[in-house]
Structure 1
């Protein structure tokens, strides 16, 4: 049996910290040189660098009233992916309903990269726009 696998622990801790809005707990999971890439043209799109930027993005996303449902945790050789469904309704009536994969690359017990893959890039971009 191969042991060339990450485990689901870091991914589960990442999601738990996000859902609990435990920003210091989230920060403790991240490598200093972390990057997070998000497709689209919304306020959360693009590639960001560093723990402060990642925590700010997570806070911004959470601040929009996002409900995150865990569908699956998938484990690979260098990290794990969270299969999620995000839903939210903005005060002005805009709706978000998307499936996504949040892929976490890990090294030495720290998350070094987050790559987000979305089912509805245009919908996310429209939801996360400057008012």
Structure 2
């Protein structure tokens, strides 16, 4: 399997595990030294380190009722990018409607970095606030 196909397959497994809330499968895709960056000031913002922290962040994101639509899967020399559209409505009526790129850096078949780029950083911060 070519590197491009491998990167695409890992990105597809990442998104499938995220959507299915299969935390063991997600954890298995992550390198021990993974970092995940998220802009803004919300509860999911900042830089986290390690697979346990990455899975914890994923749990928090989907725990808010997020619906994720894949728009495009893009493959590069060092990984893949998922072009996504996320929507959600909180119990208090706050809404989230954002486009994002989730960029996965992949080395030796594992995700070593996740960098999230958002269309509405302030909206994400307002949606993901401490409950």
The alignment's TM-score, normalised by the length of structure 2, stands at 0.96
For the residues of structure 2 that align with 1:82 and 1:15, how far apart are their CA atoms?
Answer: 8
Query: How many corresponding residue pairs?
Result: 129
For residue 31 of structure 2, what is the aligned residue in structure 1? 31
Structure 1's unaligned 5+ residue stretches are: none
Written as runs of structure 1 = structure 2, the 5 A alignment for 1:45-64 is: 45-64=45-64
Q: Using a 3 Å threshold, how does the CA distance of structure 1 residues 56 and 122 change in structure 2: closer, same or farther?
A: same
Decide which structure has greater helix share.
2
8 Å Cα contact 2:7-2:106 kept in structure 1: no
For the residues of structure 1 that align with 2:10 and 2:98, how far apart are their CA atoms?
Answer: 23
For the residues of structure 1 that align with 2:24 and 2:7, how far apart are their CA atoms?
Answer: 22
How much has 1:4 moved relative to structure 2?
A: 6.7
State yes or no: 1:119 paired with 2:103: no
For the residues of structure 2 that align with 1:72 and 1:113, how far apart are their CA atoms?
Answer: 19
For the residues of structure 2 that align with 1:55 and 1:73, how far apart are their CA atoms?
Answer: 21
Q: Which runs of 4+ in 1 moved over 2 A?
A: 3-7
Structure 2's unaligned 5+ residue stretches are: none
CA-based RMSD: 1.1
